[in-house]
Amino acid sequence: MDADRPRTSVGDAAVIVIVGGGPRGTGVLERILAQEAVNADPTPLEIHVVDPYPPGAGRIWRGSQAPLLWMNSTTADVTMFTDSTTIVDGPIVPGPTLAEWVAENTEELGSFPEIADEIPTVAPTSFASRSLQSRYLHWVFQSAVDSAPPHVVVRIRRRSVIEIDDVHGSQFVRLDNGDVIEATIVLLAQGHPDALAAPREIQLSDFSAEHGLTYVGPGYTADLDADVIAEGDPVLIAGLGLAFIDWMVLLAESRGGVFERADNGNLVYSPSGREPLLYAGSRRGVPYHSKISYSIEDARPPLPRFFTADLVPGDGPLNFHEDIWPLASKELAGAHYYELFSAHPERTVGTWEEFDSEFASLSWGSPRLDELIENAVPKAEDRIDLESCCAVAEFRRNLSPRTSRAGCIPSSASSPVVRRRSDSNNCWHSMKQA
């Protein structure tokens, strides 16, 4: 955290400005410092990381947001470090996943009030709050800074860049406080910057203003004001993706509603009475499936096998459905059946080696492959069915709301993914624990 200066000049040192101090900027900084640590001929280097939000977390992962807003990846799947699987120039610098970091720092993390109750519940398969992820990202950033070799100076500028000028080979970076940094290189790592309102959004905003309605446009949910929506208000929500989940949390659980476990194991929502009435829709018409909780305990399938660059036909333009989708489908199916044969042999016929020797030689979608799978996997619910997993109800614009709803609900309820998560007889994770 350096003092503000009217002007930073290149002088004898090369100057790199990284615009954006969130995960992207942190990753760039870590890679530069890892390279410089093994530089056989080091020269002075000054790195400025410019971001008005906390370094490491940036705006999206800052800690000052509702504690009920979670990540959409499990803690074991989140890491900012390279390892033996990483294809990258420069040295490999391993480090902990979010799950490992929490396990190593449980006592210290438990001292922070906003995450104290969460820490004892964190497991590799759990989803962390964004507040906890913020702590992890800040630690990663600081660890990178602390690793800087003597010839490198890192400066954190809690400012915004408002202008970049290219003059005679140098980049002049103007900050919102008037400071100018003369840089050798500028790296833009803002992540997903905001966009100007599209014509459709402007139209909706104008319509709402004319009719006394409240309009909240697209944006990062934590930056938007949920308090403008009063209890009992009818609310139209366009989209059923991650932002919809955020809005549902902010307008329901954050207002005092709670989920309770019923005798049959299902979760039942008990409203507080302060919620609005949500009408949600999207082009698909149904929400996305939740993420699976199944974990592979034995050897992982050998990947990739069928979806590799040398198997993609030709050097010309590709047709996704003809050239890519069959290879990707076979790759997914191969991994699926490898795990089925390994973890649940009672649900298969024959050995994996017998099945795989023929599976590998057959084209995806061929009658012989379908026959092979049917013979080796007797129960249809144990076979991978990508088309059904991806399919949703087909709607036409002239369908009435009642007809659309009649088609939507059975389509969602009959999904094989939904069945596996709600029926212990089809949930492999439950069977493995039984």
pLDDT confidence of residue 291: 74
pLDDT confidence of residue 421: 57
Q: Contacts by 110-118 with C-beta closer than 8 Å and gap 24+?
A: 114/63, 114/67, 115/67, 118/67
Angle in degrees, CA 82, 339, 374, rounded to 5: 140
Angle in degrees, CA 132, 135, 141, rounded to 5: 145
Residue 210 in contact with residue 38, Cβ under 8 Å?
no
Cα(61)–Cα(317) distance, rounded to whole angstroms? 38
Residue 335 in contact with residue 319, Cβ under 8 Å?
no
* Residue 267 main-chain phi, psi, to 5 deg: -85, 135
Residue whose tokens read 């329901």: 252
pLDDT confidence of residue 395: 45
DSSP secondary structure of 331-378:
HHHHHHHHHHHHH-GGGSSS-HHHHHHHHTTSPTT-HHHHHHHHHH--
List the end-to-end C-alpha distance of the chain, in Å, as a whole number.
54
pLDDT string in tens for the chain (434-residue length):
343 444 455 457 899 999 999 999 999 999 999 999 999 999 999 999 999 999 999 999 999 999 999 999 999 999 999 998 898 889 999 999 999 999 999 999 999 999 999 999 999 989 999 999 999 999 999 999 999 999 999 999 999 999 999 998 889 999 999 999 999 999 999 988 888 899 999 999 999 999 999 999 999 999 999 999 999 999 999 998 889 999 999 999 999 999 999 999 889 999 999 999 999 988 877 777 777 766 777 778 888 999 988 888 777 888 999 999 999 999 999 999 999 999 899 999 999 999 999 999 999 999 999 999 999 999 999 999 888 766 654 444 555 666 656 655 555 555 555 556 555 445 444 434 43
Its sign, for the CA torsion 310, 314, 317, 320, is negative
pLDDT confidence of residue 433: 40
Query: Which two three-digit tokens encode residue 126?
Result: 């759990």
pLDDT confidence of residue 285: 75
Could you give the domains of the chain?
Answer: 7-188 (3.50.50.60), 199-281 (no CATH), 309-433 (no CATH)
3-class SS letters over 3-28: CCCCEECCCCCEEEEEECCCHHHHHH
Surface-to-core class of residue 226, CB atoms within 10 Å of its CB (0-12 exposed, 13-18 middle, 19+ buried): middle
pLDDT confidence of residue 18: 98
Whole-prediction pTM value?
A: 0.83
Cα(309)–Cα(49) distance, rounded to whole angstroms? 37
